[in-house]
């Protein structure tokens, strides 16, 4: 078993409960960790024997473009889509960060981490 990680995926998206967030959008960073049996790919050196990172990124990007109010909702949609597209993924963890959230004070980000 191996863990494939795709970290620091950046998106400009329109997630949030406030009307301004839905109109202006903000920057999000997504980290995804996938537990996969890579033993066949380790021997074959063939892309079709593992999870294609480009395809994973495209799945994440597609879900990030669908507006949601909550990070929890975005994260769950991404996990569900990734597991649906890649049956070889045994377990997945995602961290979705909203950078510079409009909470009335200075902070780098808020985040949610989910597992499936």
pLDDT in tens, 33-81: 999 999 999 999 999 999 999 999 999 999 999 999 999 999 999 999 9
Residue 113 confidence (pLDDT):
98
Q: Would you call 98 a catalytic residue per the annotation?
A: yes
**CATH number (domain holding residue 95):** 3.30.1130.10
Quote the pLDDT of residue 54.
97
Q: Which of 47, 39, 36, 52 is nearest to 92 (CA)?
A: 36
Residues 77-107 pLDDT 10s: 999 999 999 999 999 999 999 998 877 788 8
Task: Give the pLDDT of residue 8.
Answer: 98
| Residue 36: per-residue pLDDT | 97
What is the pLDDT, as a whole number, of residue 86? 94
| pLDDT at site 21 | 81
Task: Count structural domains, the chain.
Answer: 1
User: What does the pLDDT read at residue 20?
Assistant: 84
- Alpha carbons 75 and 114: distance in angstroms, whole number: 7
For 43-71, b/e burial (b = at least 16 CB within 10 A) is eeeeeeebbeeeebeebbeebbeeebeeb
CA distance 16 to 47: 37
User: Which among 69, 83, 98, 106 is annotated as catalytic?
Assistant: 98
Query: What residues contact 27, with CB distance under 8 A and at least 6 apart?
Result: 10, 11, 12, 98, 99, 100
Q: Which domain holds residue 17?
A: 2-115
């Amino acid at each position: 078993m191996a863990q494939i990680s795709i970290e620091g995926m950046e998106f400009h998206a329109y997630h949030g409960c406030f009307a301004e967030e839905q109109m202006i959008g903000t920057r999000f960073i997504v980290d995804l960790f996938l537990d996969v049996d890579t033993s066949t790919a380790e021997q074959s050196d063939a892309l079709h024997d593992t999870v294609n990172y480009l395809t994973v990124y495209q799945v994440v990007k597609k879900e990030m473009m669908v507006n949601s109010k909550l990070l929890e909702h975005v994260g769950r949609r991404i996990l569900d889509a990734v597991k649906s597209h890649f049956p070889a993924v045994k377990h997945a963890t995602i961290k979705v960060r909203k950078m510079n959230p409009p909470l009335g004070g200075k902070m780098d980000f808020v985040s949610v981490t989910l597992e499936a």
